[in-house]
Amino acid sequence: MYRVVFVCTGNTCRSPLAGVALRGALGAEADRVDVTSGGTAAWEGQPASEPSVTVAARDGFDLRSHRSRRVTPEWLRAADLVVVMERSHLAGVLSLGADPERTHVISEWPEPGAPDLTVYDPYGDSLEAYEETWHRIRTHVARIAPHVLEALRTRSA
């Protein structure tokens, strides 16, 4: 099983959205990938924010059962790929034991990335801000998914 961990701050907006976006982008191969999300400062057990649930549902994704979790060193060490939402999360996950070779900022990987298309935290902002965040996450995940699929093919060979 290939393991991907998405990390944001509270695990109620960006990282759960990235998780469902990746599962969707992987299609039939999604069952071969363990996609987890967590927050560097998450309060355990919080539901996904209502605007996140709304924007995901418009594209057929269900976040209603999501509950926030704080990212753990165990998840990070076991991950094949750790994707953080912004540079400020990078130091936090590296200090918890994430492998620097397998840890990337969503807008910067795979290179050359789209560093001008940052994924800021929409928490508490308008529905339009969530829509823009969702659009940016889906754009980045579309670049990431082929690399995950290639890693799966490599493992199967």
Catalytic residues: 8, 14, 121
Q: CB-hemisphere CA count at 13 Å for 114? A: 14
The closest alpha carbon to 75, from 62, 92, 58, 57, belongs to 92
